[in-house]
Amino acid sequence: MKKGLLAGLLLTSVTFVGANAFAAAPVISNIPDVIIGDAEDNVGTDNNFFVFTNAFNFDNFVSDLDTPKASLQWSFDEGDDAVAPNQRWFTINGKQAVHLGSSEIATSGNTGHNPPAPANELRSVSQFASFRDIIFSPGSGPAQQFPAPTEPDKSDHAAGKVVTFYVSDGTNVASKSILVATRDNQNDALSGGSQFTQLYDEPFNSLPATWTTEALVATGSTNDFDSANGAIRSRVASTAAVGTYRVASWYTPSPVVQYGAVGSNNWVRGKFYVYRTGQSPNQANVMPAIRMRLMQRFVIASTLEAWSHTPGIPTLEPLGAQLAPSANPAAPSVYRVDFDPPEVPQNVNNPATEGIQAYFGAYAAANDAPANGYVALTELVIGTYPAVLGTEVSSYTGAGIAISTSDGADAYSVVFTGSEAPGQVPAQDTTTKPSYSQSASGVTIDSTNSAFGQSGTTKRIGVIEFYMELGSQAVQVTTGSLYQARFHITSTRNSNEQAQMRLFLRSGAYLYNVLYEVGGARALPGTEARALAWQHLPGVGNQNPDKQIPSENGCWYTVLMSSPVNTDIQSDQSLWTSPSTPVARRNIKIGFGGVDTLSTGSDQNDEALLYTVDTVKVFVSSEPE
């Protein structure tokens, strides 16, 4: 071993002596093909704005043993055009191709690429590649309306042309060719290359020791392992009891993916492979909702709730039926849960001990007495992909964050006396409740003026959900899209006194729900859990560096939603895209609120909600895989 180590050190010395002669060349791999669409920018009108912003991260597709990725220089050539040869179609990061057409490329070799001139170098503008079709959307300005593409150029651009990327380290150069196409009325998309890096795969061939069950709620709730199909299952029973919710669930007590494997430049995705069974009658509209979650210490979580129906709204059942999981264990449905773990000190300083946990379960609401049967998880895959915002499609600031004229705000409290049966929910009190106020600064959520908390055996819990008016900026779900909502939130209250904050995106009315939760600050007694909450909740003490102003008492929060329109869920989802389905059901509802308080410790009464949302932005990009 020592001899081998010595030889390696000698070899390294020789390599350094001859570095100029033997420098390692860059290696490019797996760059995806690019489709430039305009559907993301068609808000109210067909704008024909063909720009794919931040299509991919250059650094994710190159390696070089002796040159930092940030020092590598990128450029590109454009191939032939069938209709109008030698016509430039694209700019990338505002720069044109070095060479145009296969003949010029062939005779030029690497000339102009090793290294490229500043006028052609791409990465100095951004580490992300942004494409623009300058034939259909000429110039370099922001989104505006352009004329619709016409034939024969429309078909020619839809077929695409070859674009060759070059990477130079100043001595050596590497190249890779992809296809770039422009397609009218489609979303921006990547194909042929995946940005998803798998870090965890649990196929449940046997019951893993890393998973355990959570406490059951209500009679008839059970958890078990299906050895025949390799799955963990959660079951709820129908009930005759009025106002009784039921829960059965599984979770991982420890992280299955370390924060160090995620880092600050990636988001996390969980792919949940799910089937249903045991419903009576055997139909989707009596199954419980599925809860799928990625989380940290039960303090910060991204939860997807998928409902096959909404209790009391039978008109949603046809849409919900196309969201329900497969009844065939051999061909499960795949649901995607996306999560942005915060870059707070507790994570950054403890990359090996902090990380991502998973949760799966069945939930039946108190007003859904018929719900029954199993939901089963037969595989879970977790991985990461680059944390890159897509195209901005809507923006609300200050007084522009108005209350929805259709959904309004839902605020109430419930009082538990300790005598309730398991799952029993007391009647809602709409007099004592958290409040909201609207101003030029945005919307403020406030529960500081009411007596929420525990007194003896009696506990009053306040709940509020504020739905935003979307107006002409409403976004409809489409196939193959990933939505990113950014909430800018601040508070004058200490972050270690905040109750649980909730941010949410919903579609299909209330069938497909992404809920992002932080806190409460006193929810769990552990030092680590409280550090996560205090550092990430808005207010004095917030330490998330994703800030609008460095010294502000708050930060940006990113809520991620994979589109429900995905054939991995069901092959027939025609109602989700049909013009006959009301637009309001295909819109993404946006809202925020919280709960004061679900915490149970001796200092739970120190919590209260007080925060202001001053900006909300929505972005859309293609799915990362």
Higher pLDDT, 21 or 357: 357
Give the mean pLDDT of 455-478. Answer: 95
Whole-angstrom distance between the N-terminal and C-terminal Cα of the chain?
Answer: 42
List of residues 6+ apart from 571 with CB closer than 8 A: none
pLDDT of residue 157: 94
pLDDT of residue 381: 95
Confidence of residue 190 (pLDDT cuts 50, 70, 90): confident
Q: How confident is the model over 538-558, as pLDDT tens digits?
A: 999 999 999 999 999 999 999
Query: How high is the mean pLDDT of the chain?
Result: 91
pTM, entire model: 0.74
Are 355 and 544 a contacting pair, CB within 8 Å? no
pLDDT of residue 197: 86
Per mean pLDDT, which range of 143-157, 186-200, 489-503 is the poorest? 186-200
List of residues 6+ apart from 539 with CB closer than 8 A: 490, 491, 492, 493, 494, 495, 496, 497, 498, 553, 554, 610, 611
Confidence of residue 50 (pLDDT cuts 50, 70, 90): very high
Confidence of residue 13 (pLDDT cuts 50, 70, 90): very low
Question: Where along the chain do the CATH 2.60.120.260 domains lie?
Answer: 194-387, 390-625
Evaluate if residue 333 carries a pLDDT over 50.
yes
List of residues 6+ apart from 261 with CB closer than 8 A: 199, 355, 384
Q: How confident is the model over 288-318, as pLDDT tens digits?
A: 999 999 999 999 999 999 999 998 899 999 9
pLDDT of residue 26: 86
Instruction: Compute CA 214 distance to the chain's CA centroid, rounded to the nearest angstrom.
Output: 25
pLDDT of residue 489: 98
pLDDT of residue 405: 96
pLDDT of residue 2: 29
Sheet bearing 51-57, strands edge to edge: 51-57, 128-133, 90-92
Q: How confident is the model over 221-275, as pLDDT tens digits?
A: 999 999 999 999 999 999 877 789 999 999 999 999 999 999 988 999 999 999 9
d(CA 296, CA 232): 21
pLDDT of residue 459: 95
Domain 390-625 in CATH 2.60.120.260? The answer is yes
d(CA 291, CA 308): 12
User: What does the buried/exposed string (b/e) look like for 160-181 if buried means 16 or more CB atoms within 10 Å of the residue's CB?
Assistant: bbebbbbbbbebebbbbebbbb
For 603, the 3-state DSSP assignment is coil
Q: What is the CATH number of domain 194-387?
A: 2.60.120.260
Evaluate if residue 345 carries a pLDDT over 70.
yes
List of residues 6+ apart from 580 with CB closer than 8 A: none
Share of the chain above pLDDT 70, in %: 94
Q: How confident is the model over 430-444, as pLDDT tens digits?
A: 999 999 999 999 999
